[in-house]
């Protein structure tokens, strides 16, 4: 049985790699070898940053330091309690500063983007309008109130026109849009969207889950009213996220999570809630989530978004030209818009997406996402009920990774998979599979807790 990366058949891959790029930042992902079905092991090649990114080494170090001082936040009188509270509130200031939040804005720590948009949904005083290209996190929370979906057109210009018509037709409180599509990587023009929303009396919310790891986001400069983001997409996978934005709606809304810390006074039949952010952060706060999120925004700022953009664009261009050489065309929503982050979703002719994902992992040690990416309406628009394969680039990606992925796809197209795959537990798995089970591997790598 053939295994591992093989030489490209068509010779195009080597010519498309003009410069050799190393990863831009050090990640704290200690496990770098993964087993293959042939009994050997190989370097893990991660193309799944858009789903969840491992921690940056610098973020991990700051988390470790914070943990050394850990004590109860906002509650204790001990010295360490005060240190932890200061760390938590400093993280809030950092996130505010690095997202351009103004005096009328507040940073509320949440679990993730889904949680942040769900919180915002409970506070919107009117109709919400959004496109049909969104992740479920920016579709489902709005369904509790009045909402309207504007189908995106084939061009961005026509999509903005359709949005404008909808806002003219009937007033809306909020336009909510993704900053970058988790399926195609296409970025939305946030300044133009803010101006459009504002000119019709609406506010703009941005689902920043995919944009924030790749581009600077400045609420004040761009006119964004609300930004939602997730730590685990920002190289800070410690359970934190945030909603950043205008405080008035949030202070007028009921608490997102009623409980300790969110109240000024409680009687047996009444309660006086604190203003935001405490109003929406009931229960003991997630110190690691907050500190890691602040550290991640700071780390990205220090690496520099110009450097990040240059690095990722070069790798993305290598990936796209290599895919084109293999006859693979990534999905795109708009024909007139070319601003994208490093996300490419595609299908390999003749193979189901879940088979391609299973093959890349089992035979080549490459991690991609196969499926519908929590964006069912968009995949349905593309006519892809069986989903697609998504390869996404991050700070740990280098030219070697792009070459490995392209060579593995080339081998698949030329020779097909070299193993049998069967459905089990909702996934396709190779059979036989001599690799240690996930439970065994977990026990080995974690000393079995
Ligand atoms: C564009 C986009 N929005 C929202 C989300 C939801 O993020 P989370 O699962 O962290 O809430 C994701 C996650 O993949 C995403 O890609």
Four-residue CA torsion sign, 216, 187, 132, 49: negative
For the chain, how big is the Rg over CA atoms in Å? 23
Atom of ligand 1 at shortest range from CA of 230 = 10
- Mean pLDDT value across residues 317-335: 98
**pLDDT above 70 covers what percent of the chain?**
94
**Per-residue pLDDT, 369:** 97
pLDDT category, 10, cuts 50, 70, 90? Answer: very low
Q: List the structure tokens of 224.
A: 């964004």
Pick the last residue of a domain from 273, 303, 333: 303
- 409 alpha carbon – ligand 1 mean position (Å): 27
**Per-residue pLDDT, 342:** 98
- Cα–Cα distance measured from residue 70 to residue 59, given in angstroms and rounded to the nearest whole number: 16
Is there a contact between 55 and 27 (Cβ–Cβ < 8 Å)? yes
pLDDT category, 1, cuts 50, 70, 90? Answer: very low
- 350 alpha carbon – ligand 1 mean position (Å): 29
Displacement of CA 428 from its chain's centroid (Å):
24
Regarding whether 321 and 275 lie in a shared domain, the answer is: no
Q: Is residue 5 part of a domain?
A: no
Q: List the structure tokens of 414.
A: 């030329």
pLDDT category, 426, cuts 50, 70, 90? Answer: confident
pLDDT category, 418, cuts 50, 70, 90? Answer: very high
How far, CA to CA in Å, does 47 sit from each of 320, 326, 416? Answer: 14, 18, 21
Domain ranges, residue 202 = 58-303
**Per-residue pLDDT, 439:** 83
Regarding whether 288 and 398 lie in a shared domain, the answer is: no
- Mean pLDDT value across residues 305-314: 98
- Mean pLDDT value across residues 29-44: 89
Our answer on whether the CB atom of 186 is closer than 6 Å to any ligand 1 atom is no
Regarding whether 294 and 145 lie in a shared domain, the answer is: yes
Query: Does 374 qualify as catalytic in the annotation?
Result: yes
Higher-scoring residue by pLDDT: 148, 30: 148
Q: Is residue 45 part of a domain?
A: yes
User: Can you give the three-state secondary structure of the chain, one letter per residue?
Assistant: CCCCCCCCCCCHHHHHCCCCCCCCCCECCCCCEEECCCCCEEECEECECCCCCCCEHHHHHHHHHHHHCCCCCCCCCCHHHHHHHHHHHHHHHHHHHHCCCCCCEEEEEECCHHHHHHHHHCCCCCCEEEECCCCHHHCHHHHHCCEEEECCCCCHHHHHHHHHHHHHHCCCCEEEEECECCCCCEECCHHHHHHHHHHCCCEEEEECCCCCCCCCCCHHHHCCCEEEEEHHHCCCCCCCEEEEEEHHHHHHCCCCCCCCCCEEEEECCEEEECCCCHHHCCCCCCHHHHHHHHHHHHHHHHHCHHHHHHHHHHHHHHHHHHHHHCCCCCCCCCCCCCCECCEEEECCCCCCHHHHHHHHHHHHCEECEEECCCCHHHHHHCCCCCCEEEEECCCCCCHHHHHHHHHHHHHHHHHCCCCEEEEECCEEEEECCCCCCHHHHHHHHCCCC
Regarding whether 21 and 88 lie in a shared domain, the answer is: no
Regarding whether 216 and 100 lie in a shared domain, the answer is: yes
- Mean pLDDT value across residues 16-20: 69
**Per-residue pLDDT, 269:** 96
- Cα–Cα distance measured from residue 358 to residue 296, given in angstroms and rounded to the nearest whole number: 31
pTM value is 0.95
- Cα–Cα distance measured from residue 95 to residue 106, given in angstroms and rounded to the nearest whole number: 10
Is there a contact between 194 and 222 (Cβ–Cβ < 8 Å)? yes
**Per-residue pLDDT, 424:** 84
Atom of ligand 1 at shortest range from CA of 115 = 11
What are 249-295's pLDDT values in tens digits? 999 999 999 999 999 999 999 999 999 999 999 999 999 999 999 99
Active-site position among 95, 344, 374, 378: 374
Q: Is residue 7 part of a domain?
A: no
Q: List the structure tokens of 243.
A: 């909603």
- Indicate which CATH number applies to the domain containing 279: 3.40.640.10
Regarding whether 125 and 44 lie in a shared domain, the answer is: no
Specify the number of domains making up the chain: 2
- Mean pLDDT value across residues 226-236: 98
Regarding whether 24 and 98 lie in a shared domain, the answer is: no
Pick the last residue of a domain from 268, 303, 338: 303
Residue 331 has pLDDT above 50, yes or no: yes
Nearby residues of 346 by Cβ (< 8 Å), 6 or more positions away: 323, 328, 329, 330, 331, 388, 389, 391
pLDDT category, 9, cuts 50, 70, 90? Answer: very low
- Cα–Cα distance measured from residue 305 to residue 326, given in angstroms and rounded to the nearest whole number: 31
Our answer on whether the CB atom of 135 is closer than 6 Å to any ligand 1 atom is yes
- Cα–Cα distance measured from residue 362 to residue 49, given in angstroms and rounded to the nearest whole number: 19
Q: Is residue 218 part of a domain?
A: yes
Regarding whether 378 and 363 lie in a shared domain, the answer is: yes
Displacement of CA 33 from its chain's centroid (Å):
24
Backbone angles phi, psi at 57, to 5 degrees: -60, -40
Regarding whether 162 and 34 lie in a shared domain, the answer is: no
Q: Is residue 175 part of a domain?
A: yes
Is there a contact between 367 and 44 (Cβ–Cβ < 8 Å)? yes
Q: Is residue 165 part of a domain?
A: yes
**Mutation test residue for ligand 1: of 51, 114, 190, the one with most atoms within 8 Å of CB:** 114
Our answer on whether the CB atom of 134 is closer than 6 Å to any ligand 1 atom is no
**Per-residue pLDDT, 208:** 98
What are 95-131's pLDDT values in tens digits? 999 999 999 999 999 999 999 999 999 999 999 999 9
Q: How many CB atoms lie within 10 A of CB 264?
A: 11
- 113 alpha carbon – ligand 1 mean position (Å): 6
**19 class by beta-carbon count within 10 Å (0-12 exposed, 13-18 middle, 19+ buried):** exposed
Regarding whether 102 and 150 lie in a shared domain, the answer is: yes
Nearby residues of 114 by Cβ (< 8 Å), 6 or more positions away: 137, 141
- 114 alpha carbon – ligand 1 mean position (Å): 7
**Per-residue pLDDT, 8:** 43
- 180 alpha carbon – ligand 1 mean position (Å): 11
- Indicate which CATH number applies to the domain containing 357: 3.90.1150.10
- Mean pLDDT value across residues 394-409: 97
Q: Is residue 1 part of a domain?
A: no
Higher-scoring residue by pLDDT: 334, 144: 334
Our answer on whether the CB atom of 210 is closer than 6 Å to any ligand 1 atom is yes
Residue 438 has pLDDT above 90, yes or no: no
Regarding whether 140 and 99 lie in a shared domain, the answer is: yes
What are 342-380's pLDDT values in tens digits? 999 999 999 999 999 999 999 999 999 999 999 999 999
**Per-residue pLDDT, 11:** 41
Regarding whether 99 and 23 lie in a shared domain, the answer is: no
Pick the last residue of a domain from 251, 281, 303: 303
Our answer on whether the CB atom of 207 is closer than 6 Å to any ligand 1 atom is yes
What are 136-164's pLDDT values in tens digits? 999 999 998 899 999 999 999 999 999 99
Ramachandran category for residue 424: left, alpha or beta (phi over 0 → left; psi -120 to 50 → alpha): beta
Our answer on whether the CB atom of 230 is closer than 6 Å to any ligand 1 atom is yes
- Cα–Cα distance measured from residue 243 to residue 229, given in angstroms and rounded to the nearest whole number: 7
Q: Is residue 163 part of a domain?
A: yes
- Mean pLDDT value across residues 224-247: 98
pLDDT category, 4, cuts 50, 70, 90? Answer: very low
Please provide the size of the chain in residues.
Answer: 449
């Amino acid at each position: 049985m053939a295994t591992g990366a093989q030489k490209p058949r068509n010779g195009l891959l080597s010519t498309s790699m003009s410069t050799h790029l190393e990863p831009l930042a050090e990640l704290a992902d200690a496990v770098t070898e993964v087993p293959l079905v042939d009994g050997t092991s190989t370097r893990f090649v991660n193309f799944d940053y858009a789903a969840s990114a491992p921690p940056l080494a610098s973020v991990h170090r700051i988390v470790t330091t914070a943990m050394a001082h850990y004590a109860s936040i906002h509650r204790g009188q001990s010295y360490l309690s005060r240190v932890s509270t200061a760390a938590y509130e400093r993280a809030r200031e950092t996130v505010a500063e690095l997202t351009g939040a103004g005096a009328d804005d507040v940073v509320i720590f949440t679990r993730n983007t889904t949680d942040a948009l769900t919180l915002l949904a409970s506070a919107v005083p009117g109709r919400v309008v959004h496109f049909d290209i969104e992740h479920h996190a920016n579709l489902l929370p709005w369904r509790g109130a009045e909402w309207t979906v504007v189908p995106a057109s084939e061009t961005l210009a026509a999509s903005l026109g359709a949005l404008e018509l909808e806002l003219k037709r009937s007033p809306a409180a909020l336009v909510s849009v993704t900053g970058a599509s988790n399926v195609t990587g296409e970025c939305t023009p946030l300044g133009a969207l803010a101006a459009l929303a504002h000119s019709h009396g609406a506010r703009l919310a941005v689902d920043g889950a995919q944009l924030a790891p790749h581009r600077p986001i400045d609420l004040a400069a761009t006119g964004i009213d609300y930004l939602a983001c997730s730590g685990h997409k920002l190289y800070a996978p410690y359970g934190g996220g945030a909603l950043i934005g205008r405080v008035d709606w949030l202070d007028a809304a009921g608490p997102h999570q009623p409980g300790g810390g969110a109240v000024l006074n409680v009687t047996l039949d009444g309660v006086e809630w604190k203003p935001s952010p405490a109003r929406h952060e009931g229960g003991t706060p997630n110190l690691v989530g907050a500190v890691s999120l602040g550290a991640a925004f700071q780390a990205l700022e220090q690496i520099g978004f110009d450097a990040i953009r240059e690095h990722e664009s070069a790798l993305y261009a290598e990936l796209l030209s290599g895919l084109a050489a293999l006859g693979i065309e990534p999905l795109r929503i708009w024909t007139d818009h070319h601003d994208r982050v490093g996300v490419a979703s595609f299908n390999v002719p003749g193979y189901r997406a879940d088979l391609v994902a299973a093959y890349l992992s089992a035979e080549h040690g490459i991690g991609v996402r196969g499926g519908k990416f929590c964006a069912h309406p968009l995949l349905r628009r593309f006519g892809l009920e069986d989903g697609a394969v998504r390869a996404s680039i991050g700070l740990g990606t280098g030219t070697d990774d792009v070459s490995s992925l392209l060579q593995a796809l080339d081998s698949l197209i030329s020779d097909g998979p070299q193993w049998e795959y069967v459905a089990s537990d909702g996934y396709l798995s190779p059979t036989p599979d001599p690799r240690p089970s996930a439970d065994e591997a977990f026990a080995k790598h974690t000393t079995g807790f």
